Structure 1
Amino acid sequence: METGSVTTPFGQRSMTLGMLASQVMAGEIKPDQSVDKWKLFRALCEAKPLLGIGDRALAVLNALLSFYPKNELAQGNGLIVFPSNIQLSLRTHGMAEQTVRRHLAALVEAGLLLRRDSPNGKRYVRRDRAGEVDEAFGFSLAPLLARAEEIEQLAAAVMAERLHVQRLRERITLRRRDIAKLIEAAVEEEIPGDWQGLYREFRDLIEGLPRSPTTAQLELLLDELTALRTDILNRLEIRVKSTKQRGNADYTERHIQNSNPESTSELEPSFETKQGAIAEPDNDRGAVAPEKGRGEAAYPHGQKKEEEQSRRPDVRNDGGGLKSFPLGLVLQACPEILAYGPDGVIRNWRDLMAAAVIVRSMLGVSPSAYEEAANVMGPENAATVMACILERGGHINSAGGYLRGLTRRSEKGEFAIGPMLMALLRANAPAGRKVG
């Protein structure tokens, strides 16, 4: 390098080793080296996190590049631009001159510009008789040309990291969806297992992620979600295999029985009649058929039937094909119903159905609407739906109309309680942070 190419800043600005290193690097530019200035600027915008510069500094650099007359940065074209601070302020859309000077100093400190100060600190150019630039004082763009390859590599690294983070977030989103829907399916199918505990573990993992996570934190979360998903799938696969084996055994047993040549079931019609006869009531359970017409005046509008249903929790009506869910899950999803149980506590399905009768009256649901729901869905499921309606009371204009709508959908096989419970579980869980 020629020692004459080293210059020091004007005035009170001090010389640093970083400035000297930038000038040494600029002096090693190859004569035939060139780069498209706007392509390089786009790479700078990508690599700014690694270069330690901000958006405002890039705006000032963009203005400086606009004063360079050629599209190609090359040694032969001259690499010094000399706009005044007023001109730079105009091309940065009115940025204050003091702010412009601050960001110019940041670009010099980052090693992207060099100062070529004149004896009096002014920026100007001297031209020869032919009008060509003889000597210029201002800012040298030589460090950009010298570091062009490095800047492009940094930009590629930033883009690769961004793509990696994007894929991590996509995979985390898929794992979250899989886990939530698999737990929901397990609860809806009444598969034994601590599904509430697994759901809490799932929510703890999601809520433990910071608002602006690092790549390492995202990778750790993905590994933990993958392990949890695998655990859930293993439990469900065991259940599926056991169900399949039991089904095959039942089919084999039926096949052997039907293949018995000595079977006399076809020759004994009286035996078939006994099999199809209506079973007698189970006297051990104490169920007594009410006499027709007795007590109807004391229980107007079907209230007697509601209380009878609340006193007989063992009675199930699957007319709508709905599946019952564990009482603990219902209470976790609908905690507001607890206040209406006996002494403010719900210990069993009997208590829940008694509380549902009180809630029905409080929400203005007619006895006929609730009776119809209990007949179609079953008393336990009707009580569960009333608990859900109470939980979402602020979003439902007419509780009675809403219940009748769910009853009609249940009759058609278009309604399931599982999604409603899972939505309330998610709503009552502490607010988590989004990922992806």
Structure 2
Amino acid sequence: MTYTPVSPFRRTIDAVILKHQARSNTELPPSGVNKWEALRELSAAREAFGLTDRDMTVLQALVSFHQATILGGNDSNLVVHPSNKSICERLNGMPASTMRRHLGRLVHAGVVIRRDSPNGKRYARRFGEEKIVYGFDLTPLAQRFEEFCSAAEQVRAEQEAFRRLREAVSLMRRDLASLSVYGEEMRPDLSIWPQFSDLAALTARTLRRKLDMADLERIEADLSAALVRARNILEPSGSENMSTNESQNEQHYQNSNKDSYDSELHQELVKGAGVDSPALPDQLADTEERAISETGVELDPPEPDIPMPNLPLGLVLRGCREILTYADGSVRHWHEFVRTAEIVRPMMGISPSAWDEAKRHMGPVEASVVLAAMLERIAEIRSPGGYLRSLSAKAASGEFSSGPMVMALMRKEAA
């Protein structure tokens, strides 16, 4: 006759121990449970069961004394009986008092169950075919395996949500810092940009600390509100979709007559040299009408207070279509073209001093045409600011005109 004790040797009994003892009477899984897989799932969800990493280290040493890999199945005897000295040796010399404290936490969490002998010693004894073992029962690892797995999945889902939210907050902080710098350049009249910059800096400092989900959600809400305000100030609204016109442009480029480019280039070079060309007014009018039909942009007469370049706006828009994607609506006038160039300039990494130098030597419109042409080849230009300065120096000595740049881009498209 055998009897399974429920009270530990020389230790008090409480409701938690009785609850775990009652659960141990349930049947083991028929197919058994891999003890290392159970240990891995419990390690992932250890905080949900009130355990620490040190507790799991002691449990791993305890599990290693069970020779079989599968808990349950044909093996119903899951009690191990190592001595305190043997356990401490597998724990690399952990003090026995520390080891006993962690064992007590494992028992209280219901991960293992004490099966103490009458004198509190751990041993195995045979009575014929029957074997009685006193020690630590690993049955809960197999019985509660599904519970461990469910808790581990929940923990992993929470960790993934936390990681993704932290990444989003980090990206939002970076965007807010960049928008504050850009906003100070574009709208220096507003005092909101230092506040945005301070919020980004404080967020970077806060992210160095250990945060919980509620902290990240609060930071995410603050950054989201700040980004909405910044974008409402800086980003254009209602931009015209040029995709249809661009597809029409591509068809026109394939059917264009390359000879017209030569005549337009000849006109640009003649005008750049300060010589009138009375034989080409009809060609210029025809070129501008063709540019209007191909870009879909109807141009108003040029403003008298803005110096005009040697190329019509429609022709420039045909060769420099990339700048239209940054326009606040359609570009119908030269002043709208210049305003769009002002928006694109900091995005290209061109300093305000280099831009002011270009406008001084070329004029604002000519400088904007040069910038639009550079934008078409931005991937090939190592230093846009230095390149613009070199062109400004040529323009100061009268050796530069934007016409050949635009014509070269149009020839490249038509090729």
Between the aligned partners of 1:321 and 1:214, the Cα distance in structure 2 is 41
Match of 2:100 in 1: 101
Pick the aligned partner of 2:131 from 124, 131, 134.
Answer: 134
Between the aligned partners of 2:54 and 2:154, the Cα distance in structure 1 is 22
Between the aligned partners of 1:196 and 1:256, the Cα distance in structure 2 is 37
Match of 2:17 in 1: 19
Pick the aligned partner of 1:147 from 125, 144, 148.
Answer: 144
- Output one character per residue of 1:283-340: Cα deviation in whole Å (capped at 9) or x when no partner: xxxxxxxxxxxxxxxxxxxxxxxxxxxxxxxxxxxxx97416xxxxxxxxxxxxxxxx
Check the 8 A contact 1:80/1:140 in 2, yes or no: yes
Match of 2:217 in 1: 219
1:254 matches 2:301:
yes
Match of 2:122 in 1: 123
Instruction: Assess, with a 3 A threshold, how the Cα gap between structure 1 residues 171 and 322 changes in structure 2: closer, same or farther.
Output: closer
Q: Report the aligned-residue RMSD.
A: 3.7
Between the aligned partners of 2:189 and 2:6, the Cα distance in structure 1 is 79
CA shift, 1:186, in A, is 2.3
Between the aligned partners of 1:179 and 1:125, the Cα distance in structure 2 is 68
Check the 8 A contact 1:50/1:154 in 2, yes or no: yes
Pick the aligned partner of 1:158 from 137, 155, 158.
Answer: 155
Taking every aligned residue pair, what percent have the same amino acid on both sides? 34
1:42 matches 2:40:
yes
The aligned amino acid for 1:109 is H
| TM-score, normalised relative to structure 1 | 0.54
Pick the aligned partner of 2:164 from 163, 167, 182.
Answer: 167
CA shift, 1:214, in A, is 1.2
- Output one character per residue of 1:151-180: Cα deviation in whole Å (capped at 9) or x when no partner: 111111111111011000110111111111
Between the aligned partners of 1:183 and 1:65, the Cα distance in structure 2 is 57
Q: Which ranges of structure 2 fall in alignment gaps of 5 or more residues?
A: 241-294, 305-348, 361-382, 390-415
Check the 8 A contact 2:116/2:122 in 1, yes or no: yes
1:323 matches 2:352:
yes
- Output one character per residue of 1:357-400: Cα deviation in whole Å (capped at 9) or x when no partner: xxxxxxxxxxxxxxxxxx99x9xxxxxxxxxxxxxxxxxxxxxx
Match of 2:285 in 1: none
Q: Which ranges of structure 1 fall in alignment gaps of 5 or more residues?
A: 243-247, 258-319, 325-374, 379-407, 415-436
Instruction: Assess, with a 3 A threshold, how the Cα gap between structure 1 residues 253 and 39 changes in structure 2: closer, same or farther.
Output: same
Instruction: Assess, with a 3 A threshold, how the Cα gap between structure 1 residues 152 and 31 changes in structure 2: closer, same or farther.
Output: closer
Q: Give the secondary-structure state (helix, strand or coil) at the position aligned to 2:7.
A: coil
Q: Give the secondary-structure state (helix, strand or coil) at the position aligned to 1:254.
A: coil
Q: Give the secondary-structure state (helix, strand or coil) at the position aligned to 2:299.
A: helix
Match of 2:179 in 1: 182
**What count of residue pairs does the alignment treat as equivalent?**
266
Between the aligned partners of 1:156 and 1:127, the Cα distance in structure 2 is 42
CA shift, 1:223, in A, is 2.1
Check the 8 A contact 2:28/2:72 in 1, yes or no: no
CA shift, 1:75, in A, is 6.2
The aligned amino acid for 2:35 is K
1:198 matches 2:196:
yes
Between the aligned partners of 1:150 and 1:239, the Cα distance in structure 2 is 53
The aligned amino acid for 1:98 is S
Structure 1 window deviating more from structure 2 (220-229 vs 152-161): it is: 220-229
Q: Which runs of 4+ in 1 moved over 6 A?
A: 239-242
Check the 8 A contact 2:32/2:71 in 1, yes or no: yes
Instruction: Assess, with a 3 A threshold, how the Cα gap between structure 1 residues 155 and 211 changes in structure 2: closer, same or farther.
Output: same
The aligned amino acid for 1:117 is D
The aligned amino acid for 1:123 is R
Match of 1:364 in 2: none
Between the aligned partners of 2:141 and 2:351, the Cα distance in structure 1 is 70
Between the aligned partners of 1:224 and 1:56, the Cα distance in structure 2 is 38
Between the aligned partners of 1:101 and 1:256, the Cα distance in structure 2 is 90
Instruction: Assess, with a 3 A threshold, how the Cα gap between structure 1 residues 255 and 412 changes in structure 2: closer, same or farther.
Output: closer
Instruction: Assess, with a 3 A threshold, how the Cα gap between structure 1 residues 74 and 180 changes in structure 2: closer, same or farther.
Output: same
Match of 2:324 in 1: none
Between the aligned partners of 1:23 and 1:188, the Cα distance in structure 2 is 71
Between the aligned partners of 1:24 and 1:76, the Cα distance in structure 2 is 22
Check the 8 A contact 1:6/1:23 in 2, yes or no: no
Q: Give the secondary-structure state (helix, strand or coil) at the position aligned to 2:352.
A: coil
Match of 1:8 in 2: 7
1:85 matches 2:114:
no
The aligned amino acid for 2:299 is T
Check the 8 A contact 1:29/1:145 in 2, yes or no: no
Match of 1:56 in 2: 54
Match of 2:279 in 1: none
Instruction: Assess, with a 3 A threshold, how the Cα gap between structure 1 residues 409 and 30 changes in structure 2: closer, same or farther.
Output: closer
Higher RCO, 1 or 2 (CA under 8 Å, sep at least 6)? Answer: 1
Q: Give the secondary-structure state (helix, strand or coil) at the position aligned to 1:183.
A: helix
| TM-score, normalised relative to structure 2 | 0.56
Instruction: Assess, with a 3 A threshold, how the Cα gap between structure 1 residues 164 and 321 changes in structure 2: closer, same or farther.
Output: closer
The aligned amino acid for 2:300 is E
